[in-house]
Structure 1
């Protein structure tokens, strides 16, 4: 017969050995990055570093971000597309667990006139680090000066977060979700990213 003490010991062991993918809260991450077309400014921009060709997105079958045509921010992206003053550069979505700063990996964001990364992690609170560059659209990146949106902040899930720059901006949202089935089915590997359904 299983006593309460045995049941608690079994439950503790299951939680302890379940692994980081099971112990962490998962989030649906969605971002819209847009250019402000009427932004005339005489500001000097930083020089974009060259030679940083590292693939920042973790390698696995389920880690790729995808265009978010049906996401929570689709209405916002559509309004920006229909406005004469803005151009949507990227509208992406992915799922990831809330890992610590050193354990989580940045996600590469690419577009015709956009390159950079978004890093979501959790310490005591959720945090986001955006490092996005508005480029000329050329496929060869030379050491030139480009507008850079580089901002780190504490964020909350289920809220819209606006990142502002004189030339472009980003709207980010995280929503808590259940651990994806493909992660639950993967017994090993520490998978921390997934595609939305």
Structure 2
């Protein structure tokens, strides 16, 4: 009988968790993310840099310039709250902030969640030092998937090395407007069109389960990510905000 009660309680708990996760789908959260590099670069250790990394963008994505219509995903700019963290990284002299943004976004289960393009740092021939995408989704918890890479470029005009991809529907236009500390500098490239290669590439591909309000750190020998997902304040109309 006790076993029956335990199984019933477990089933009720799992059902409640599934119902809570389903209620999160479509809820708007506020996200803030800082991506930073280590100033000693990647030349000190080659064992972490695969010779032929698989770099790719997802087929479906949005960025910080996407203006979606009704029912379409978009990222709404928000005020940053982790400025002290970004400033501390910059002051240390050991790190450089490549990307720092906050935005509001509706989160969905993973199959519906859009990938978000991330760029920052120096630029070279239409590419940025930091590139890739992230995906935020909800199930029983909040989930973050990262597909980011940081490149070291060769001399202007050089070829060979690791081919850098472009998002499928982007041309070689301007990079995203990222007003991050240690702002992006343009490396002379003579506007060379066509393929662009990196001498070395470090990848950060991780899955992280998160709770709202907690600050999470994703580590890598050459760059890292600080990310926080926050619930929004209770609206004036009395509609309850999402919980942790």
Structure 2 regions of 5+ residues with no counterpart?
1-21, 122-128, 154-186, 190-194, 236-244
TM-score of the pair, normalised by structure 1: 0.68
1:125 matched to 2:141? The reply is yes
Residue 57 of structure 1 aligns with which residue?
62
Q: State how far apart, in whole Å, the 2-side matches of 1:22 and 1:129 are.
A: 18
> Partners of 2:60 and 2:196 in 1: how far apart?
16
Question: Using the alignment, how far apart are the partners of 2:196 and 2:60 within structure 1?
Answer: 16
Task: Label 1:154 to 1:50 Cα distance change in 2 as closer, same or farther (>3 A).
Answer: closer
Q: Conserved in 1, the CA contact under 8 Å of 2:33 and 2:226?
A: yes
Deviation of the 1:102 alpha carbon: 0.6
Q: Deviations over 1:66-122 (max 9, x none)?
A: 5x7x41111101111122100001101221122000111011100131001110001
Question: What is the aligned partner in structure 2 of residue 169 from structure 1?
Answer: 224
Q: Deviations over 1:108-137 (max 9, x none)?
A: 100131001110001121100011101125
1:135 to 2:146 alignment = no
2:17 aligns with: none
Question: Which structure has the higher relative contact order (CA within 8 Å, separation 6+)?
Answer: 1
Q: How many residues align?
A: 160
Structure-1 residue corresponding to 2:209: 154
In 2, are the aligned partners of 1:21 and 1:97 still within 8 Å (CA)? Answer: no
Q: Which residue of 2 aligns with 1:116?
A: 132
State the superposition RMSD in angstroms: 3.2
In the TM superposition, what is the alpha-carbon distance from 1:157 to its structure 2 partner?
0.7
Gaps of 5+ in 1: 1-19, 181-197
Cα deviation, residue 41, structure 1: 2.3
Find 2:47's aligned residue among 40, 43, 60: 43
